[in-house]
Structure 1
Amino acid sequence: MYKIAIKRAFKMNKNPLPWTKAICAGICSGVPPLIGLLLGNFQYGLLAGIGGFTYLYVFNIPYALRAKKLLFALLGMSLSVGLGTLLAPFSLTSAITVGLIGAIATFVFGSLRIAGPAAIFFVLAFTMATGMTLDPSLAPLRTGLVLLGGVLAWIIGMMGGFMNPHGPETIAVQQVYKDLALYMDSVGTDDSNKARQRLVLSLKSAEDNLSAGYISWRISDQYKRLLLLNNQANQIYMDVLERIEKSKDKLPLELGASIRTTMNELMNQTNPGIQIFKPSLKTVFGGSFDKNSIVFLTATRYGVVLTIAAIIAYSFDFNRSYWITLSCASVMSGSTIISTFHRAIQRSIGTILGILIASIILSLHPEGLVIVIAIVILTALTELAIVVNYAIAALFITSNALLLAESTTQLHNTAFLASARITDVLIGSLIGLIGTLLIGKSQASNLLPHVMAKTLRSEQQFLMMLFSEHRSNADVQKSAAQGKMRRNLTNLNIVYTTAFGEIPSNTTALEALRPAIFYIEQLGYLLESSQKYADRPILSDESLSQFLLVFETMAIAIEQQRPFTRKYVPEITDFTNIQQDINELQDALHIVAIQRNKMNSS
């Protein structure tokens, strides 16, 4: 197993190279030091360059969300540098604070499901500040300089929004229509389930993108058209499930072709009556702040292990001990134990090579413009390498960080610098790996039955609200039941994926659950889609009671790992796809129970 993990750690991914992002990242990191050099204070320019790391949080997400994310990043890094400067003389307080910074950033990024480097650059900013000259009075100045560098990165990161304000949302909706056409082509074939699963993921992704891109005070015609297109795709998919897929016959190829042209036809239409509801931040964070939330547990683990690493680093006479904490933070950025193991290997090898390269550069005593050019090149190479392999990216990240940290120290003993940094990195990586193994071992696997049961119960509550006589469309769209179901579905997906990366991992049992997980996620999607139909039928008390029995039976069977017996599912007029999905979920759980009994008996 470990040989396979080591081999995968050095696997080269064949992804397109992000040249535009690499060039912009280089500009963001190089312009502040260049301005500092021209104004006669190169050290101030290097400090502002830390704010340039804000651009590394740029991803292809709606610009409305990107603006907030980059603002959070630049404020977070500025505050981290200020706190690092103030608390540098107090070792224990610094250790606790860096743990809190790591935990909070991990929690925020996890709760909002934001892609990116999460806590790592906040930790870097704080730890680098603790390694600077001790002078708490410089905290406002250092904070302001980093803030200026971050503002430049924010401006460059948002420039695309002026030319194509809804570019990410458009790409997401276009993908929906591509996958919808492929699904319609696959109906009646062996590939139907895979195509259906891919389509559901695309529909959910487009929904999330459109929700993230919503600005209440500025709703453009383009945004309205994208909402209309996405709603149309939902309706087509529901119609296929409801009326066509039952026969399991192949659909005419012309239907898939017509879907591919539907988007262009609808782009000229608008629907000014379209509304969209977004959960408040209080609701989102409140849902993640739970003892069984994998986001909360991961953030807590991250903060605790990071604090321990910092205490160890400060307790011994390490030269510039913050490299231990930084290496630990980097290693724990892996989403699973396996990926953490990969990160430990990649970080160690890549960092050692990066230290050697930086040591060679520093041994030549570069000055001014040479250092600026090196920082630009290394930052750009980091962005190009990160999509290929983290070990290569770690090489450039380390070289860059060393140049920023050591360029103004006039350090002449580069051999000592290299050996000290290598020691720090190995210790930090080891702490991160051991901490993850001790605290996170089997955490997701143990949580999975509870999370599955909890998700089913929240789906049952939302179904009752949708088809009961006591309901209104506004109440349904803003309901706590829907928000709870969404949070549980997100948590379920994360827990299930994380369980595969544990050591040891019962892959056979997890694979057996895959169909059940899919039908639970599919059911959540069907329920959310059903709320868009105002003419939903009202179910009798008997039918609602039977649904309660069905869901509770499934939840108890999963939670307590009992034998499962299929129950009768009432039909919902015009929404028979819900009934079909629940029946398929029961079948999947019945198979899981049979396989579990076989495994236990053997």
Structure 2
Amino acid sequence: MLSKARRLFKDLFTLNDVKRPWHLSFIAALCVGLPAIIGAALEQFPQGMLASLGAMVVLYMPNTRTAHRIVTLSLCSFGFIFCFMVGSLSTFVSWLPPFALSLAMFLVVIMSRYYLLPPPGSFFFVLVTTISIAMPFDLPSLPTNIGLLAIGGMTSCVACFVYSLLTGANTLPKTEIKLDARVNAIVLEALFVSVFVGGSYGIALALQMNNPYWVPISCAAILQGATFRQVWHRKIHRIMGTLVGMLLASAIFFFHPNAWVLAFLILILQFAIEMLIAKNYGYAVIFITPLTVIMAEVTNTQVSPALLLEYRIFDIVFGSIIGFVGGTIFHKTQWLTSLEKKMDERKSLSLLLSRKKD
């Protein structure tokens, strides 16, 4: 028992020996940080932040040839726009956002799983949806906001195109498009995850939490774990990293930083995240937390550090617990597998009957 605990502790805090080019982290940080810096220069920082949110598609750049990279990022940009639109329109009715979040999550999980989209998977689509839900409903501003999001995505596409040419991406092996043919399993997983993520937001609204969008974000982050061990690790990493990260975020907001400071902090934090994310998720969360706080709290830089620390930690821990419960059910029970087998059997029977009729 003691040896298992020691091994768990070691796994949680060990930096994995994953080599990643520094320039890959730099281009990701530049894509996310540059729109915010331009926004600060034009005294339009909130608009710059929306473009930075769209620029986060750069995090989905695969290690493939240039053409495949640009197609992947372009499709992810369309996904961001769709999620933002669904989230924004749902705020017209107070009880609709949890269902809109579930719908967006359902479709995103199906697409990301079917096309085997690598990490961060569906996470940033959830982030875009929840941030759009957190924004006040303003229908006339919706086209402008979508345009800013699209500009950020296009900026990342152009930057990645130039980066790919400079680093010789076309010398990489030809990309084979792989698909996950287990459609029933994908649909069941998407339905399960969407119910938990949307449900977590519904619970947070019912409990009248302050800015409850942190709950589904944390829930989705935990459910990203491919195995129960990863779910458990992510829960601990998420909570511990958040505690340290919220202290860092509170320290940042304590000095009431201006738009220029926040813009450059976004660039620095994103670079640190990219350098650490493959080595240890918990260490990366320390920097992910203040970055998401800056993006979510951009309209209120005068927020009280004490209240920021109190509300966000509770929301994130609460969402992580819901995500852990969902991950436990998903990985430790067989009912989804049994349901998948029944669906496959019915499909096979239907095909057999149709062939007999022919």
Contact 2:37–2:264 (CA under 8 A) maintained in structure 1: no
Is 1:418 aligned to residue 309 of structure 2?
yes
Is 1:94 aligned to residue 97 of structure 2?
yes
1:369 shift after superposition: 1.5
Give every structure 1 segment of 4 or more consecutive aligned residues whose post-TM-superposition deviation is greater than 6 Å: none
Is 1:211 aligned to residue 176 of structure 2?
yes
Is 1:159 aligned to residue 162 of structure 2?
yes
Is 1:141 aligned to residue 144 of structure 2?
yes
1:91 shift after superposition: 4.0
SS in 1 for 2:191: helix
The CA distance in 1 between the partners of 2:337 and 2:9, in whole Å, is 26
User: In structure 2, what is the equivalent of residue 387 of structure 1?
Assistant: 278
The CA distance in 2 between the partners of 1:364 and 1:394, in whole Å, is 22
User: In structure 2, what is the equivalent of residue 436 of structure 1?
Assistant: 327
| Correspondence for 1:289 among 183, 193, 196 | 183
User: What is the aligned-residue identity percentage?
Assistant: 28
1:445 shift after superposition: 10
| Correspondence for 1:358 among 232, 235, 249 | 249
1:99 shift after superposition: 1.8
User: In structure 2, what is the equivalent of residue 315 of structure 1?
Assistant: 206
1:306 shift after superposition: 0.8
User: In structure 2, what is the equivalent of residue 399 of structure 1?
Assistant: 290
In the TM superposition, what are the counterparts of 1:107-506 in structure 2 within 5 Å?
107-163=110-166, 164-169=168-173, 209-212=174-177, 284=179, 287-290=181-184, 293=185, 295-443=186-334
Contact 2:28–2:58 (CA under 8 A) maintained in structure 1: yes
Higher mean Cα deviation, 437-446 or 390-399?
437-446
The CA distance in 1 between the partners of 2:301 and 2:170, in whole Å, is 48
Higher mean Cα deviation, 7-16 or 363-372?
7-16
| Correspondence for 1:82 among 82, 85, 92 | 85
TM-score scaled by structure 2? 0.87
The CA distance in 2 between the partners of 1:442 and 1:18, in whole Å, is 40
Contact 2:249–2:293 (CA under 8 A) maintained in structure 1: yes
SS in 1 for 2:117: coil
1:11 shift after superposition: 2.8
The CA distance in 2 between the partners of 1:82 and 1:301, in whole Å, is 23
SS in 1 for 2:245: helix
The CA distance in 1 between the partners of 2:329 and 2:336, in whole Å, is 15
Contact 1:5–1:338 (CA under 8 A) maintained in structure 2: no
| Correspondence for 1:105 among 108, 128, 139 | 108
In the TM superposition, what are the counterparts of 1:433-582 in structure 2 within 5 Å?
433-443=324-334
After superposition, give the CA deviation of every residue in 1:4-51 in whole Å (9 maximum; x if it has no partner). 445423332011143111111111111111211222211111111101
Corresponding letter in the other structure for 1:303: S
| Correspondence for 1:46 among 35, 46, 49 | 49
Number of residue pairs matched? 340
1:439 shift after superposition: 3.9
| CA pair 419-64 structure 1, distance change in 2 beyond 3 A | same
| Correspondence for 1:67 among 60, 70, 86 | 70
Corresponding letter in the other structure for 2:171: G
Higher mean Cα deviation, 89-98 or 147-156?
89-98
SS in 2 for 1:92: coil
Contact 1:101–1:119 (CA under 8 A) maintained in structure 2: no
Corresponding letter in the other structure for 1:369: W
1:329 shift after superposition: 0.6
SS in 1 for 2:96: helix
1:418 shift after superposition: 0.9
| CA pair 92-20 structure 1, distance change in 2 beyond 3 A | same
| Correspondence for 2:16 among 7, 13, 20 | 13
The CA distance in 1 between the partners of 2:49 and 2:103, in whole Å, is 26
The CA distance in 1 between the partners of 2:171 and 2:126, in whole Å, is 32
The CA distance in 1 between the partners of 2:127 and 2:175, in whole Å, is 33
The CA distance in 2 between the partners of 1:341 and 1:105, in whole Å, is 23
Corresponding letter in the other structure for 2:264: I
The CA distance in 1 between the partners of 2:321 and 2:336, in whole Å, is 24
SS in 2 for 1:211: coil
After superposition, give the CA deviation of every residue in 1:453-479 in whole Å (9 maximum; x if it has no partner). 99xx9xxxxxxxxxxxxxxxxxxxxxx
The CA distance in 2 between the partners of 1:357 and 1:21, in whole Å, is 25
Corresponding letter in the other structure for 2:176: S
1:357 shift after superposition: 0.5
Corresponding letter in the other structure for 1:50: L
Contact 2:38–2:48 (CA under 8 A) maintained in structure 1: yes
Pair member with larger Rg? 1
1:362 shift after superposition: 0.8
> Which of structures 1 and 2 has the larger relative contact order (alpha carbons within 8 angstroms, sep 6+)?
2
Corresponding letter in the other structure for 2:156: A
The CA distance in 2 between the partners of 1:6 and 1:100, in whole Å, is 37
The CA distance in 1 between the partners of 2:331 and 2:83, in whole Å, is 27
1:165 shift after superposition: 4.9
The CA distance in 2 between the partners of 1:391 and 1:138, in whole Å, is 37
Contact 2:225–2:231 (CA under 8 A) maintained in structure 1: yes
Contact 2:51–2:148 (CA under 8 A) maintained in structure 1: yes
Segments of structure 2 that go 5 or more residues without pairing to the other structure are 349-358
After superposition, give the CA deviation of every residue in 1:406-461 in whole Å (9 maximum; x if it has no partner). 233143411011100000000000001112212442439956x979x99xx9xxxx
| CA pair 113-444 structure 1, distance change in 2 beyond 3 A | farther
SS in 1 for 2:64: coil
| CA pair 133-410 structure 1, distance change in 2 beyond 3 A | farther
| CA pair 319-18 structure 1, distance change in 2 beyond 3 A | farther
